[in-house]
Chain A
Amino acid sequence: MELEPKEKQKQSVSRRDFLKLSAIAGTGITLGAAGMGAIMGIVKPESGKASALSNDRISLYGQHQAGIVTPQQTYMYLASFHLTGDDRSSVIRLFRDWTKFCDLSTAGGTMKTGDNTLLPPNDTGETLDLPAAKLTITFGLGPTFFREEGKDRFGIAAKAPRYLKDIPRMPRENLDPSLSGGDVCIQVCAEDQQVAFHAVRNLIRLSTGYATVNWMQEGFISATPGKTPRNLFGFKDGTANSEHDTSAGYDDVVWAGEGEPEWMKGGSYLAYRKIRMLLEVWDRTSLKDQEDTFGRFKESGAAYGRSGEFDAVDMSKQPGSAHVHLAKQTGQRIHRRAYSYTNGVDPRTGNVDAGLLFLSYQKNPETQFIPMLRMMQSKDKLNEYTSHVASALFACPRGLKEGQYIGQNILEG
């Protein structure tokens, strides 16, 4: 081919130019959207490396999906998808591809680069030298997965789980519909942000032609092992999780069962709220007001009138509108798994856009979560410092057996 691109005369060659040059010069057709489809040639991690790092892996398989009661990893991505296919077979195909990718990446593997160098590589490659980093990938299904605008789009409406509905309107919320809901939600967590991003990126790539990504959020949380992590207000978040930290406790709080379709027995409902926190206002608030807001001491995490973080809350010592007081008043428990987020600076105010990606898992959102949320939204003193900007509810199916794909017992038979 005789297309020698002349040295560009322009002083600098932009990335756009560079792409054009390389494409035309035939130095590679590695541009553009990823080639998918036949990704499933795989590179399993070397076995030597495998044993050395085995505590770095969390199995994709089990009675329950990983990433729900799994101790929180440091980084999280939450992505919501809209399915574009109009038949069940396209959903099956996507879920199969996704499952294969999850099987591989949670084991620390990457997709094999194909033999044809003219095609884009199957894997994006940024984790080639990285371990699994406790990667978990958790799938949830939104109400529209089963029925959209009254239409049984994939012929599975009869299999909808018992409590799957959008969270009803709440007072004081300020939701952005483009950041809320979705047909499918994927929570990706890992101890290494690059590993987590690699997974979500390739899941998006694999969805081309079957789904489009609605929104994606990234979060972080950090704590010394064994300690409760703190949110961006500097308070411990999830202290109450310890109360149900047993197998029986999880059955009581997290795992759905009774009255649910087979595929949901052992699954859980994921409630999501994106809560913007007005950090600047909070940081100008006295320590006393801050502690009154939560009903806990900031440093120790102990409830008012107590000295240890895990001491039972004494309701008589709680200010009426304190966060902990309201949460306990409902008498309900949920399993919290929240992450903090930051997203640059609001150009109008110069304030940092940051907050909490509130995630909780529960077996029955109608009794456990929604009344609690409603009470908080009407009374919680925290409302002065927060604003709910996005919302969603997803049903996370029970765990997978090896050889099954995500959602198989919904989509088949």
Chain B
Amino acid sequence: MLFKKITSIASISVASVLLLSACNQASPKEAAPAAQVADTQTQQAAADTKNPVAEDAGKLQEEVKKLQDAISKKDAAQVKSLGKSINDTWLSFENTVRQAFPLEYTEVEKYEMPIFSASAYDKVDFESLKSNADKLHGALEQLKNAKPSTANTSEQLNKAVENYKAFVDEQADNLALQTKAFAEAVKAGDVELAKKEYTKARVYFEIIEPIAESFGDLDPKIDARLADVEDESTWTGYHRIEKALWKDKSLKGQDKYADQLIKDTEELQKQIKGLKLEPKVMVAGAIELLNEAATSKITGEEEIYSRTDLVDLAANVDGSKTVYLAIIPALNEKNPQLADQLDKQFLATEDLLRGHQKDGQYVTYDKLSTEQIRKISDQLSQLSTLMTQTASIL
């Protein structure tokens, strides 16, 4: 059965999950501190419980060590091959980890994904790989020493929300910072640089889109498309400048929009900080993210000039996955089968999207054939249908 009848509020586990997306863009700001396990309610002494994945984690760690060596030797071929084999090894036991150690799972997943993604690129970015490999090694160390949690209290969801909120706040910070970089390039009249910064900034907006959009007065100022505005002369925000960059090919007169955009995203950042999230809102937002991807992104309606719709789409999916990772402890408790299926579908979606990258950049929407678009759309609808069922943990 896909969902169970819900009779009570989700119960416990003391988990603190810190979630960062598997987003391929480099963060301007470093991640907040990682998982802390406040294991106050462990019901049995964990000492005598054996860690069932210690051996696998150890093996994976060996491979990561080889990867670290290859990185230090700048051996691109070896790095790529290890990126793939590390992923295979991880996939072979990740289900067990997700069940037994959801917190450690999230940590490993966070650093493993980008390493795997990077193994497909032509050019290897040794620096960012090194940082991910080091952190993956650390995460595996934690996993080796983790104790199975038999936690069982009602704070699970609240913890998930808390951690998700930390993620959202961080993305809002990144958004403000990156938007500023974008706006500066616009004001400097540097079209090529502005185009690059634009795409980066959009990711931080799209990854938390439903939250950003909940501020009704700010959202249209920041993210309105031409089709959304009644009077073109009142049109501001990213898409106004997008048009200047890709269609008009001139940044003349864009300074005022750039300044306004800095102001508006900083205001958004401030308002998001003061926002109190609830589990329902978090889960609804995760579903809404996939709906966004499946409606405005897959149809190419979002980025009609830059054609970077896939970047936005992937960010929507990433944002939704972040929620999924946050609620794994609750899912394990209430609906472990759903967690399995979601895991499979997120993997399939990421796989499919990765196929549309070239050197780590998504191809533009106009390069996609109708069949390719349909395939992504079908995959998204499978994922969304499952994601909708996560409301069963509420």
**By the criterion CB–CB under 8 Å, are B210 and A24 in contact?**
yes
Q: Does B254 contact A (CB under 8 A)?
A: no
Stretch binding the partner chain, chosen from A31-39, A246-254, A369-377, A399-407: A31-39
A126 to B342, CA, bound (A): 30
- The CA-CA distance from A31 to B220 in the complex, in Å, is 21
Contact B2 A38 (CB under 8 A): yes
Closest chain A residue, CB of each to CB of B375? A212
Q: Check B378–A84 contact: CB distance below 8 A.
A: yes
- The B contact surface, by secondary structure, is helix
Known: A26-B280, A33-B381. Is A9-B220 also a contact (CB below 8 A)?
yes
- Report chain B residues within 8 Å CB of A11: 230
CB contacts (< 8 Å) of B3 on chain A: these are 35, 37-38, 114, 116, 119
CB under 8 Å from chain B, chain A span 196-250: 208-209, 212
Chain B residues with CB under 8 Å of A32's CB are 287-288, 290-291, 294, 384-385, 387-388
**B285:A23 contact, CB within 8 angstroms:** yes
Asked, given contacts A23-B285, A26-B278, A26-B284, whether A35 binds B216 with beta carbons under 8 Å apart, the answer is: no
Contacts of B30 in A (CB 8 A): none
B387: nearest chain-A partner, CB-CB: A32
Q: Is A6 an interface residue (CB 8 A)?
A: yes
Residue of B nearest to A7 (CB): B216
User: In the complex, A32→B291 CA distance in Å?
Assistant: 6
**Looking across the interface, which residue of chain B has its beta carbon closest to that of A14?**
B228
Task: State whether B385 touches A24 (Cβ < 8 A).
Answer: no
Residues 283 to 341 of chain B near chain A (Cβ within 8 Å): 283-285, 287-288, 290-291, 294-296
- Residue pairs across A and B with CB atoms within 8 Å: the count is 128
Q: Report the bound CA distance from A357 to B287 in whole Å.
A: 38
Pair A20/B288 contact, Cβ less than 8 Å = yes
- Cross-chain contact of B381 among A3, A25, A208 (Cβ < 8 A): A208
For A344, what are the chain B residues with a Cβ–Cβ distance below 8 Å?
none
A204 CB to closest chain B CB (Å) equals 10
B382 within 8 A of A: yes
- B388 contacts A24, CB within 8 Å? no
Chain B residues whose C-beta falls within 8 Å of the C-beta of A35 in the assembled complex? 2-3, 385, 388-389
Q: Considering the chains assembled together, what is the distance between the CA atoms of A29 and B279 in angstroms?
A: 12
In the complex, what distance in Å separates the CA atom of A172 from the CA atom of B284? 53
Contact of B288 with A24 in the complex, beta carbons under 8 Å: yes
Answer whether residue A299 sits at the interface, using C-beta atoms and an 8 A cutoff: no
Q: How many residues of B contact A (CB 8 A)?
A: 44
**Contact, CB under 8 Å: B1 / A8:** no
**Chain A residues whose C-beta falls within 8 Å of the C-beta of B54 in the assembled complex:** none
Is B5 part of the contact surface with A, judged by Cβ < 8 Å?
yes
Nearest Cβ on chain B to A354's Cβ, whole angstroms: 25
- Does B26 reach chain A (CB closer than 8 Å)? no
CB-based contact A1/B281 at 8 Å: yes
Min CB gap A145→B, angstroms: 19
B220–A33 CB distance below 8 A: no
Kindly state whether residue A5 has any CB partner on chain B within 8 Å: yes
**Is the CB of A45 closer than 8 A to any CB of chain B?**
no
Q: Which of A2, A19, A116, A208 contacts B291 (CB 8 A)?
A: A19
Q: Does A51 contact B (CB under 8 A)?
A: no
Does A284 lie at the interface of the complex (its beta carbon under 8 Å from any beta carbon of B)?
Answer: no
Query: Taking the nearest CB of chain A, how far is it from the CB of B7, in angstroms?
Result: 9
Q: Which residue of B lies closest to A10 (CB)?
A: B220
With the chains together, A120 CA to B210 CA distance in Å?
19
| Interface flag for B214 (CB, 8 Å) | yes
A170 to B1, CA, bound (A): 47
Interchain nearest-CB distance for B215 vs A (Å): 8
- Given A19-B288, A23-B291, 5 additional A-B pairs, CB 8 A: A24-B211, A25-B214, A29-B284, A35-B2, A120-B388
26 A-B pairs within 8 Å (CB atoms) are namely A2-B276, A3-B277, A3-B281, A5-B214, A8-B216, A10-B230, A16-B295, A19-B291, A20-B210, A20-B213, A23-B210, A23-B285, A24-B213, A29-B280, A29-B284, A29-B287, A32-B291, A32-B387, A33-B294, A33-B385, A36-B2, A37-B3, A38-B2, A114-B5, A119-B389, A208-B382
